[in-house]
Protein backbone atom coordinates (compact mmCIF):
# COMPACT_ATOMS: atom_id res chain seq x y z
CA UNK A 1 0.00 0.00 0.00
CA UNK A 2 1.23 3.50 -0.67
CA UNK A 3 -0.11 6.93 0.11
CA UNK A 4 0.61 9.89 -2.13
CA UNK A 5 -0.35 13.52 -1.78
CA UNK A 6 0.70 16.35 -4.05
CA UNK A 7 3.93 16.29 -6.02
CA UNK A 8 6.36 16.34 -3.15
CA UNK A 9 5.03 13.72 -0.76
CA UNK A 10 5.07 10.00 -1.33
CA UNK A 11 5.57 7.46 1.42
CA UNK A 12 4.74 3.81 1.82
CA UNK A 13 2.95 2.41 4.81
CA UNK A 14 5.80 -0.07 5.31
CA UNK A 15 8.18 2.85 5.72
CA UNK A 16 5.83 4.46 8.24
CA UNK A 17 5.32 1.26 10.19
CA UNK A 18 8.91 0.55 11.09
CA UNK A 19 7.81 0.90 14.69
CA UNK A 20 4.80 -1.37 13.98
CA UNK A 21 2.25 1.18 15.11
CA UNK A 22 -0.69 1.41 12.70
CA UNK A 23 -2.32 4.09 14.88
CA UNK A 24 0.42 6.51 13.81
CA UNK A 25 -0.26 5.73 10.17
CA UNK A 26 -4.03 6.14 10.58
CA UNK A 27 -3.49 9.47 12.35
CA UNK A 28 -1.22 10.55 9.53
CA UNK A 29 -3.88 9.63 6.98
CA UNK A 30 -6.63 11.47 8.89
CA UNK A 31 -4.45 14.59 9.14
CA UNK A 32 -4.59 14.87 5.36
CA UNK A 33 -8.37 15.24 5.41
CA UNK A 34 -8.35 18.59 3.59
CA UNK A 35 -7.58 16.67 0.39
CA UNK A 36 -9.93 14.52 -1.67
CA UNK A 37 -9.14 10.91 -1.00
CA UNK A 38 -9.03 8.39 -3.80
CA UNK A 39 -8.43 4.72 -3.10
CA UNK A 40 -7.08 2.66 -5.98
CA UNK A 41 -7.30 -1.11 -5.69
CA UNK A 42 -5.13 -2.75 -8.34
CA UNK A 43 -2.03 -4.84 -8.82
CA UNK A 44 -1.54 -3.37 -12.30
CA UNK A 45 1.64 -1.29 -12.17
CA UNK A 46 0.79 0.62 -15.36
CA UNK A 47 -2.60 1.64 -13.95
CA UNK A 48 -0.98 2.72 -10.67
CA UNK A 49 1.55 4.89 -12.52
CA UNK A 50 -1.16 6.43 -14.71
CA UNK A 51 -3.30 7.21 -11.67
CA UNK A 52 -0.38 8.74 -9.82
CA UNK A 53 0.64 10.88 -12.80
CA UNK A 54 -2.75 12.53 -13.25
CA UNK A 55 -4.46 12.28 -9.87
CA UNK A 56 -1.59 13.25 -7.61
CA UNK A 57 0.73 15.25 -9.82
CA UNK A 58 -2.00 17.35 -11.46
CA UNK A 59 -4.74 17.48 -8.81
CA UNK A 60 -4.90 18.35 -5.16
CA UNK A 61 -5.79 14.91 -3.85
CA UNK A 62 -4.29 12.02 -2.00
CA UNK A 63 -4.12 8.64 -3.63
CA UNK A 64 -3.93 5.52 -1.52
CA UNK A 65 -3.10 2.39 -3.48
CA UNK A 66 -3.66 -1.22 -2.51
CA UNK A 67 -2.93 -4.46 -4.29
CA UNK A 68 -5.02 -6.48 -1.87
CA UNK A 69 -8.76 -6.17 -1.24
CA UNK A 70 -8.46 -7.08 2.45
CA UNK A 71 -5.94 -4.30 3.09
CA UNK A 72 -8.11 -1.79 1.26
CA UNK A 73 -11.20 -2.84 3.22
CA UNK A 74 -9.32 -2.55 6.49
CA UNK A 75 -7.98 0.92 5.69
CA UNK A 76 -11.40 2.17 4.61
CA UNK A 77 -12.64 1.73 8.15
CA UNK A 78 -10.16 4.47 9.17
CA UNK A 79 -10.20 6.69 6.09
CA UNK A 80 -13.08 8.61 4.57
CA UNK A 81 -12.88 7.90 0.88
CA UNK A 82 -14.33 10.17 -1.82
CA UNK A 83 -13.69 7.78 -4.71
CA UNK A 84 -12.87 4.08 -5.02
CA UNK A 85 -11.28 2.94 -8.27
CA UNK A 86 -11.23 -0.82 -8.39
CA UNK A 87 -9.62 -3.22 -10.84
CA UNK A 88 -11.84 -6.30 -11.05
CA UNK A 89 -8.71 -8.50 -11.13
CA UNK A 90 -8.06 -7.44 -7.52
CA UNK A 91 -11.44 -8.58 -6.23
CA UNK A 92 -11.56 -11.87 -4.37
CA UNK A 93 -15.29 -12.52 -4.84
CA UNK A 94 -17.44 -11.15 -7.62
CA UNK A 95 -20.61 -11.12 -5.51
CA UNK A 96 -19.40 -9.93 -2.09
CA UNK A 97 -16.53 -7.48 -2.36
CA UNK A 98 -15.35 -4.01 -1.46
CA UNK A 99 -17.44 -2.37 -4.20
CA UNK A 100 -20.73 -3.99 -3.20
CA UNK A 101 -20.07 -3.40 0.52
CA UNK A 102 -19.19 0.25 -0.09
CA UNK A 103 -22.47 0.74 -1.94
CA UNK A 104 -24.29 -0.09 1.31
CA UNK A 105 -21.87 1.42 3.82
CA UNK A 106 -21.16 4.69 2.01
CA UNK A 107 -23.53 5.16 -0.92
CA UNK A 108 -22.30 8.71 -1.57
CA UNK A 109 -18.78 7.46 -2.31
CA UNK A 110 -18.21 7.29 -6.05
CA UNK A 111 -17.13 3.91 -7.39
CA UNK A 112 -15.33 3.16 -10.68
CA UNK A 113 -14.77 -0.38 -11.93
CA UNK A 114 -11.93 -1.22 -14.29
CA UNK A 115 -12.20 -4.43 -16.30
CA UNK A 116 -9.95 -6.35 -18.66
CA UNK A 117 -10.12 -5.89 -22.42
CA UNK A 118 -13.70 -7.11 -22.91
CA UNK A 119 -16.86 -6.13 -21.12
CA UNK A 120 -18.14 -9.48 -19.90
CA UNK A 121 -21.60 -10.23 -18.53
CA UNK A 122 -19.97 -10.79 -15.12
CA UNK A 123 -18.37 -7.32 -15.20
CA UNK A 124 -21.67 -5.69 -16.19
CA UNK A 125 -23.42 -7.58 -13.38
CA UNK A 126 -20.78 -6.45 -10.87
CA UNK A 127 -21.03 -2.84 -12.05
CA UNK A 128 -24.79 -3.01 -11.66
CA UNK A 129 -24.76 -4.61 -8.19
CA UNK A 130 -22.13 -2.17 -6.96
CA UNK A 131 -23.90 0.80 -8.57
CA UNK A 132 -20.61 1.98 -10.02
CA UNK A 133 -20.44 5.49 -11.36
CA UNK A 134 -18.66 4.20 -14.42
CA UNK A 135 -16.63 1.28 -15.67
CA UNK A 136 -13.52 1.50 -17.79
CA UNK A 137 -11.83 -1.09 -19.98
CA UNK A 138 -8.08 -1.75 -19.86
CA UNK A 139 -5.73 -0.44 -20.95
CA UNK A 140 -6.74 2.76 -19.20
CA UNK A 141 -4.98 5.88 -20.44
CA UNK A 142 -3.89 8.49 -17.90
CA UNK A 143 -5.92 11.27 -19.55
CA UNK A 144 -9.01 9.03 -19.71
CA UNK A 145 -8.71 8.42 -15.97
CA UNK A 146 -8.25 12.14 -15.33
CA UNK A 147 -11.47 13.01 -17.23
CA UNK A 148 -13.52 10.31 -15.48
CA UNK A 149 -12.30 11.33 -12.02
CA UNK A 150 -13.08 15.02 -12.65
CA UNK A 151 -16.70 14.12 -13.37
3-state secondary structure of 117: coil
Mean pLDDT of the chain: 77
**Mean pLDDT over residues 9-17, rounded?**
45
Residue 26 has pLDDT above 50, yes or no: yes
**Of the ranges 6-15, 128-137, 142-151, which is most confident?**
128-137
List, for residues 72-131, the tens digit of each pLDDT value: 988 888 888 899 999 988 888 878 889 999 999 888 899 999 988 777 788 888 888 888
What pLDDT band is residue 4 in, cutting at 50, 70 and 90? very low
Q: Band of the pLDDT at 6, cuts 50, 70, 90?
A: very low
User: Which residues touch 144 (CB under 8 Å, ≥6 apart)?
Assistant: 136
In this prediction, residue 85 carries a pLDDT of 93
For the segment 56-76, what is each residue's pLDDT rounded down to a tens digit?
776 668 889 999 898 898 888
Q: Is the CA virtual torsion 146, 76, 138, 108 positive or negative?
A: negative
The DSSP-derived string for 53-101 is IIIISSSSEEEEEES-HHHHHHHHTTS--SEEEEEGGG-S-SSSSHHHH
Q: How many CA atoms lie within 13 A of 135 on its CB side?
A: 24
Q: Which residues contact 22 (CB under 8 A, 6 or more apart)?
A: none
> Is residue 110 a contact partner of residue 133, using CB atoms and an 8 Å limit?
yes
Phi, psi of 63 (to 5 degrees): -115, 125
Beta bridge partners of 40: 65, 85
Instruction: Please tell me the distance from the alpha carbon of residue 4 to that of residue 111, in angstroms, as a whole number.
Output: 19
Amino acid sequence: MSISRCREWTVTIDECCKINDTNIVCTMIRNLSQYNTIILLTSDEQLTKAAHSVLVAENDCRLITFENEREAQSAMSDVECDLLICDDDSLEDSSDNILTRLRVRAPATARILITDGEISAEAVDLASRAATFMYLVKPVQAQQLKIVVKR
